[in-house]
Amino acid sequence: MYKLLASLLTFPILLLPMETSAAGTRFVSIGTGGVTGVYYPVGGSIAKLLNKKRGVYGLKVTAEATGGSVFNINALGKGDMDLGLAQSDKVTQAWEGSADWTERGPRKELRGICTLQSETVCLIAAVHSGITACSDLRGKIVAVGNPGSGTRDNSLDALATCGLTFRDLGKAEGIKAAEAAGLLQDGRLDAYFYTVGHPNGSIKEAASGRTKVRFVPFTNLGELLKRNPFYSKAVIPIQFYEGAENREDVPTFGVKACLVTTDKVSDEIVYAVTKELFENLDTFRKLHPALEDLDKEAMLTGVPVPIHPGALKYFKEAGLTDHLSKQ
């Protein structure tokens, strides 16, 4: 009887449209990445800023753990998510309909809000594996990024700088970065790739266990950068990873994390997100150390897709549109 009553009471709620609850609160989801990455806490920080103003905007924002950039872009396209974090290379390819989107076609619904932290392509190897350069990966057991991650294609591109593909590896594992650190420590992986901002939990975990680890540099970048203009030279800041064997910043290549949405998401929601993010930038920067160096100008530079009208409305009001023209 109680069960019946309970189901009768909950049933009307299930009939309401997903975005709106009985109290008029709109639910907004942000697709992030694995829980030990930077996207997840960054998405959580954006949610926190907005949820503080629930009384003003009526938004309840949640950060969802996901497989990463490619998953988020596809979830946005299906309307399963409202906002997402994704690497600038992946956003560019989705917009153009290349790489992961060659068969699915261009994702012209994508709209940009801003760029966020820099991310670098990291290869973390167990010292005992003897891997000191890209070409040493031949025959090794390497985690190359889970399906849905941005990391996966970056590993392929990184391997190409020394003429290797996944087939040249002993095994190319598709496991998540969150699991890779532990498996490297347990001796079940020789190395793993992770495209991520710094500092982040997974690499800290990998660098502070009994198995000694090192970052492997990527320096033969001429051809890669020429063919893929969305990549740029970058370094892994070693000061965050005292346990790693390297003593200096490690040369590699990188991208930027972007906050993206679609043309289906309302101007009101995107305006609120943009305004809260930009007007509370000092607070936001303190919520995660990878955000510490953000500034407004850099955040408006290099957004690979058209800016959403809701974001543009805020940038106009705040007199920030000059920075946008530098895209």
Residues that bind ligand GLU (CB under 6 A): 33-34, 37-39, 68-69, 87, 119, 149-151, 195-197
Pick 26 or 173: Cβ nearer ligand GLU = 173
Query: Residue 51 and residue 55: Cα distance in Å, rounded?
Result: 8
Query: Residue 224 and residue 179: Cα distance in Å, rounded?
Result: 29
Closest by CA to 284, choosing from 24, 45, 17, is 45
Min separation Cβ 153 and ligand GLU, Å: 9
E strand or H helix at 256, and its extent? strand 250-262
Min separation Cβ 33 and ligand GLU, Å: 2
Min separation Cβ 313 and ligand GLU, Å: 28
Q: Name the 3-class secondary structure at 101.
A: helix
| The total number of residues written for the chain in this structure | 327
Cα→Cα distances 140→15, 128, 150, 168, 188, Å: 52, 12, 21, 9, 11
Which residues, listed in sequence order, are joined to residue 112 by a DSSP beta bridge? 260, 307
Pick 87 or 274: Cβ nearer ligand GLU = 87
Q: Angle at the Cα of 193 (from 192 to 198), degrees rounded to 5?
A: 115
Min separation Cβ 196 and ligand GLU, Å: 4
Pick 236 or 272: Cβ nearer ligand GLU = 236
Is residue 207 exposed (0-12), middle (13-18) or buried (19+ Cβ within 10 Å)?
buried
Min separation Cβ 322 and ligand GLU, Å: 29
Rounded to the nearest 10°, the torsion over CA 105, 91, 236, 138 is 0
Pick 258 or 272: Cβ nearer ligand GLU = 258
- The first and second tokens of residue 195, run together, are 């495209």
Min separation Cβ 151 and ligand GLU, Å: 4
- The first and second tokens of residue 96, run together, are 């153009």
Other beta carbons within 10 Å of 212: 13
Q: 238: which DSSP letter?
A: G
Pick 33 or 217: Cβ nearer ligand GLU = 33
Pick 65 or 221: Cβ nearer ligand GLU = 65
Min separation Cβ 106 and ligand GLU, Å: 19
Contact 187, 211 (CB under 8 A): yes
Min separation Cβ 202 and ligand GLU, Å: 9
Beta-carbon contacts of residue 298 (< 8 Å; ≥ 6 apart): 115
Pick 217 or 254: Cβ nearer ligand GLU = 254
Pick 185 or 202: Cβ nearer ligand GLU = 202
